[in-house]
Amino acid sequence: MVVQSVLDDWIEVKEIPTLEEQAREVIATMRSIPELAMLPVNELEKIPLGRLRKNANRLHAVCRYKKGVRKKNALGPNDVRCIDVHPESLTKEWTRYTKFLLFHEYLHALGFSNHNREFRQMESLWPDREAQGMGSAFAEHLRKKSAKWIWKCPSCEIEHPRARRSNRRYRCRNCNLILEDIENP
């Protein structure tokens, strides 16, 4: 019995890696991508990691440059002050997305500062294709967390998390019934 519970604890710890552990894994994966071989991937390890404010709702992660660094110059990991990731992504459910976020920000740190075609090409090198598409689901997750009100259809019970009340101004697209305002607990 005791052995069993220790094993469970161990599995639990292994399943939710820290941000630093995830970053090390991302960097290791980047080392194995031939298209990145010419870039200073090893220097990414020196970049401090942090967390965005818990109530950030637009930003999922950010690469912050040091003071005075001009985006148009050739940039590298030494120009980066820190990379911050949304704390809501640091759960088991979002691990794959967090790794993709780190990869995205590391590309910025390697000098690809704009979301241009070249950047999108680099971004598509991430081996977990599905993780790349998790951004909209994560955005929805954040909206639900921060919503003060849920607009709910009394018939089909579809829910729309929102910051404000609907004040009986909207109807359900499926049922044509007026949506009700429910306070989000």
Choose, by CB under 5 A, the member of 7, 156, 163, 182 that binds Zn ion. Answer: 156
State which residue, 121 or 174, has the beta carbon closest to Zn ion: 174
φ/ψ region of 177 (left if φ > 0, alpha if ψ in -120 to 50, else beta) reads beta
**Edge-to-edge strands, sheet with 180-183:** 159-162, 149-152, 180-183
Q: Is 163 in the site for Zn ion (CB under 5 A)?
A: no
Pick the closer one to Zn ion by CB: 94 or 151. 151
Task: Specify the stretch interacting with Zn ion by CB under 5 A; choose among 74-82, 121-129, 147-155, 162-170.
Answer: 147-155
172 binds Zn ion (CB under 5 A): yes
* Residue 109: φ, ψ to 5°: -65, -25
Give the CA distances from residue 174 to residues 18, 42, 59, 158, in Å, rounded to whole numbers and listed in that order.
Answer: 42, 53, 32, 9
- 62 and 83 Cβ atoms separated by less than 8 Å: yes
User: Considering only residues 153, 161, 162, 179, which one is a binding residue for Zn ion as defined by CB under 5 A?
Assistant: 153
Give burial (CB, 10 Å; 0-12/13-18/19+) of 49.
Answer: middle
Task: Determine, following the binding rule CB under 5 A, whether residue 23 of this chain makes contact with Zn ion.
Answer: no
Q: How near is the Cβ of 177 to Zn ion at its closest, in Å? A: 6
CA dist 96 and 71 (Å) reads: 29
| 155 scored as a contact of Zn ion (CB under 5 A) | yes
Give the range of 1-9, 14-22, 93-101, 148-156 binding Zn ion by CB under 5 A: 148-156
- Nearer of residues 175 and 178 to Zn ion, judged by Cβ: 175
Among 134, 179, 182, which residue's Cα sits nearest to residue 155?
179
For the bound state, the minimum distance from the C-beta of residue 8 to Zn ion, rounded and expressed in Å, comes to 38
* Of 13 and 107, CB closest to Zn ion: 107
Nearer to Zn ion (CB atom), residue 94 or residue 106: 106
State the Cα torsion 51-101-57-178 to the nearest 10°.
Answer: -150
* Site residues, Zn ion (CB under 5 A): 153, 155-156, 172, 174-175
